[in-house]
Structure formats: C-alpha cells, structure tokens
Amino acid sequence: MTIIEKIQEKTIRKWMSKLFEKENNVSNIDGALKPNADSPSRYELMTEASKYGERTGFGIKIAPMMVSILRNEFKTVNTLKKNPEKPRTEISNEELQKLEQFARKKGAGLIGFTKISERIVFKNKGVLHPNAIVLGFEMEKDKIDTAPSLKCQVEVMRTYDKLGIISNKIANYLRKKGFSAHAGHPLMGAALYPPMAQQAGLAWLGYSGIIISPEFGPRFRLTAVYTSIENLPFSEKNEHSWIKDYCDSCRKCIEECPGSAILDEAIHHPNGQITHIANTKCMPRFINDFGCSICIKVCPFNNVDYYKLKESFLKK
Ligand code: SF4
Ligand code: SF4
C-alpha cells in the first residue's frame, strides 16, 4: 500500500463508523420504515474491503472522488433535520413534471417511482418514507469496456459520486417545495436498490446481480430519494421480465466471472429476493482488480441494443 492509500484507508474507517451511527439513528425517527426479521444485511464494502487484500487503484485518481462520496453520504443523513415539520403529501402534475425536468437536468438518466416495503430495508437502517423516486445514472461504455482497469474503476467511482450529488440535490429541491425527503446514496444506502428499480418498472435483475434496462443495458448505477409525496405515479407493471429467460439461456457472465461468484443455482433469500451472486466470492476480485466489472462488460446487453436482443430472443 502506498502512503496515500494507507491514509485513505484509515480515514475511510474513521468516518465510516461515524456515518454508520448516524444512518442507524434514522430507524429511530417517528414513522420511519424499519427493517423486518427477513430484511437483508448491508454488505459493508468500504470497511470489509481490507479483509480481501490491498485495494487496487485506490490512489490519487480515486481519492478526491472518495472524499466527495463520503461528504454526500453524510449529507443524506445530516440534512434530514431540514425537512419541514408538516410536510406536504400531494404533488400536482405540473410540479411532478418540473421535478422530473430538474432531475434530468442534474444528470439522472432513469427516473421511476415505487412504494417500498420493509423487506428491502437493510438491517439496522431506516427509510424515512416508503415512497421512492428511483434514479439511474449511466456509466460510459468505452470506459467499462476496458474492465478490469483503473480507467473502468474511475468511471464506476465517478458514477457513484455524481449520483450521490444528484440524489442530495433532488432531496433539497423537494424540501424547498414543502415536501419531506431522505436522499439515498448509490454506494451503500439504506435499502436494496435493484428490487426498487424492478418494482418501478425501469429494469430487470440479471444473473450477474446487475440490473438491466433498455436505455443503458447493465451499465448504470442506482439510488433513490424517499419522500412524503403519496401520489407519485407508482409503477404497477414491469415489461422486462423476459430478461430472466434470456439469462437462463445466456449465462455468459457465469462463464466469464474470474471469481466464480455468479452461481448456476439461484439463491433464495429470506426476504423473497432471488439472486445468483455470492458476494464473498466476488469481493476478492472486486477489491484486488480495479472493481473487476467483467460481468458488466461481457453482458450482451452492454454490446447489443436491448430491443434487438428482445426481438431475436422472443422469435426463437
Ligand atoms: S465483478 Fe467480477 S468477480 Fe464480481 S461477479 Fe462480476 S465478474 Fe465476477
Ligand atoms: S451476461 Fe447473460 S446471464 Fe449474465 S446478466 Fe447478462 S444476459 Fe444475464
């Protein structure tokens, strides 16, 4: 480890424990959505990383982004005290349109709406409101196609950073309009984002554990803003469920995963979620090889248009 990496590691650990304490306090706020007995535990990537060896690529290029990511993670919890005492709960169509315009102007590539349940809130965490605005931000293809590489890792971290900033800006925008808001952060967060995006009708979870959308294939990251707005246009359908059958016939990420972390057999989680990914097998590669990301690079949805793949698959 270089001196910069050692300082970075120590700083991350110190600030993470402060952040965890603040995050855990959200579940004590009156009316907050709390986890239930079947809720998942959050994988603490930032503090668990050192168990798997020395991080690669966490040097001078990543350091400024890590500082910004941490700052915005703190902002997600520190700004909750700015919420109005008696928040509005209804939004007009015109206000909703303006909210979407604002989110897109700030850089959100995907926007969807869903009501979340306690089964996807992480253990010990809390979500201020069940009404979620789900946001996606694209990672650039030419960078992801170099995976595993420092270039690719920088792009992943840039995306986390940018989306964390967008999430806080949207929460702030909502507060100014009289609503209550709790910004999520794409790196960690208080609840599982992939099921949220799936429920919001934006995308479908692939075998690689990465969510796949028509707009960006598997090449995007997610976050959410939880709000007091009760009349958002919550999605009740998802048109992407065919991707499950596509994954069954594809399995390219299973073959190419260098950590054997994507399993043939599905894992059925207590909260009802079904995945194919073994985090503890992925982590050594993720930590020691620039965030890996091979599963994103090789996925056909990264290389071929979603609708072309759909048409040819459904014809068979
Ligand atoms: S990031 Fe790498 S090790 Fe992890 S699941 Fe994807 S391909 Fe496998
Ligand atoms: S590589 Fe194939 S199996 Fe893996 S997520 Fe993409 S489509 Fe699904």
pLDDT in tens, 106-131: 999 999 999 999 999 999 999 999 99
What average pLDDT score do residues 173-194 get? 96
Give the pocket of ligand 1 (CB within 6 Å): 208, 257-259, 261-262, 282, 285-286, 292-295
For the chain, count helices (H), then strands (E).
Answer: 13, 8
Atom of ligand 1 at shortest range from CA of 291 = 1
The two three-digit tokens of residue 97, written as one number: 């349109």
Atom of ligand 1 at shortest range from CA of 284 = 3
The span from the CA of 92 to the CA of 77, in Å, is 27
Q: How many domains does one find in the chain?
A: 1
Please tell me the residue having the least CA distance from ligand 1 atom 8: 257
The two three-digit tokens of residue 152, written as one number: 């690719």
Please tell me the residue having the least CA distance from ligand 2 atom 6: 299
Share of the chain above pLDDT 90, in %: 81
The span from the CA of 120 to the CA of 176, in Å, is 28
**Contact between 122 and 192 (Cβ < 8 Å):** yes
Helix (H) or strand (E) holding 264: strand 262-268
Atom of ligand 2 at shortest range from CA of 208 = 5
pLDDT, tens digit, for every residue of 34-92? 999 999 999 887 777 766 665 555 566 787 888 899 999 999 999 999 999 999 999 99
Please tell me the residue having the least CA distance from ligand 2 atom 4: 253
Please tell me the residue having the least CA distance from ligand 1 atom 6: 295
The span from the CA of 263 to the CA of 254, in Å, is 7
Atom of ligand 1 at shortest range from CA of 210 = 6
What three-state secondary structure class fits 143? Answer: helix
- How remote is the CA of residue 127 from the centroid of ligand 1, in Å? 29
- How remote is the CA of residue 219 from the centroid of ligand 1, in Å? 14
pLDDT, tens digit, for every residue of 252-273? 999 999 999 999 999 999 999 9
Please tell me the residue having the least CA distance from ligand 2 atom 8: 247
Helix (H) or strand (E) holding 137: strand 131-138
The span from the CA of 236 to the CA of 171, in Å, is 24
pTM over 0.85: yes
Q: Which domain holds residue 134?
A: 3-315
Instruction: Kindly report the average pLDDT of the chain as a whole number.
Output: 92
The DSSP line for 166-222 is HHHHHHHHHHHTTB-EEE--SSS-SB-HHHHHHHTTS-EE-TTS-EEBTTTBT-EEE
Rg (CA), the chain: 19
Asked if residue 40 has a cis previous peptide bond (ω within 30° of 0), the answer is: no
The span from the CA of 295 to the CA of 277, in Å, is 11
Confidence grade of residue 218 (pLDDT, cut at 50, 70, 90): very high
Report helix angle 3-25 to 63-78, nearest 10: 10
DSSP state of 146: T
